[in-house]
A and B are shown apart, each in its own frame.
Chain A
Amino acid sequence: MSKIEDVKVLVETGKSKKVAAAVQEALDAGDKAQDILDAMIASMGVVGDKFSSGEIFVPEMLIAAKAMSKGVEILKPVMAGDGSSSLGTCIMGTVAGDLHDIGKNLVVMMLESAGFDMVDLGVDVPAERFVEAVKENNNVVLVACSGLLTTTMPALKEAVQTIKAAYPDMKVIVGGAPVTQEYANEIGADGYAPDAGSSASKAKELIGA
């Protein structure tokens, strides 16, 4: 098995304590950092698909994301200054009045693993804060809003519409238990992901990556 294949398996199976060494070995063997990163991103794609299909569960996705981040730590110095690996910045938060963070955190991990630079605004984020974050950060290509309560659906709508009013061309993706594709369409969001596993592919699709 090639060193890159080792890395892929270790990420997919969430072996965070072994990934760093495997990435270093792949680099030492002459593999390019970008190729190693692409392999890890592909692994997380597999992890996301398995989560969406019910083959794996939240803990497996969490440890895979952690393993990936350990691998990325090794690659970062090697790839410093090389912006080609980033898909751009994504601002993410759970909307005002809603303190749910699990789903949001999973999506942050999956999008980060897919190559986005993530800015996590946390929970209970007022609509205006999303707009400020777009202003404050460079190369923002996507805003992701999460809402887990039926009672915070109006806040989700307000967030999407406030972002769109300030940045009409900004892509906005939404998700959360009560959210549906129909509701996403109704409030003017560009995209909807039913679960964290599928959020990365939907986000990439929205920005044309």
Chain B
Amino acid sequence: MTATTIGPSVLERRFPPVAVLATVALGLVVIGGILMASYAPRRPPLTLPIIVLTAAVALLVVDVVLLFRLRDFAWDRFWLVFRWALLAYAISAGMIEFAFVRDHTRGAPLVVVTAMLIVFAVSVPLIIAFTVARYASQPSSASLASER
């Protein structure tokens, strides 16, 4: 761990809304997935799914920027959790992708579904790893002061 175990409580420290933004991104791709799945086995209209997918990707990009600007953060704990969770959710996403391919989803709808599954497979590990690491990050007094 990069953080120490003494000092102010981790509950005192305020973090950017990384988990909230990732949860909203997850919610958006869930909505997009519902829109697409409700048309199966027909070819779905893609306008609305592409809009929600774009919004989800934008949120995720903002999220990653906010995350990497953090100081005094338990990065080793974050990466430990993130890589194992990513493996688990990549398997889940791969299975869903397989089901869509098996059901003859092709072309643009498959691209949109794949992009949504990538957002899903990244956002869930991001939420889990951030939640674990934020409570493992003991702030220095200086970082507490600068973030207030």
Instruction: Report if A and B associate in a common complex.
Output: no
> Using a CB–CB distance below 8 Å, which chain B residues touch chain A?
none
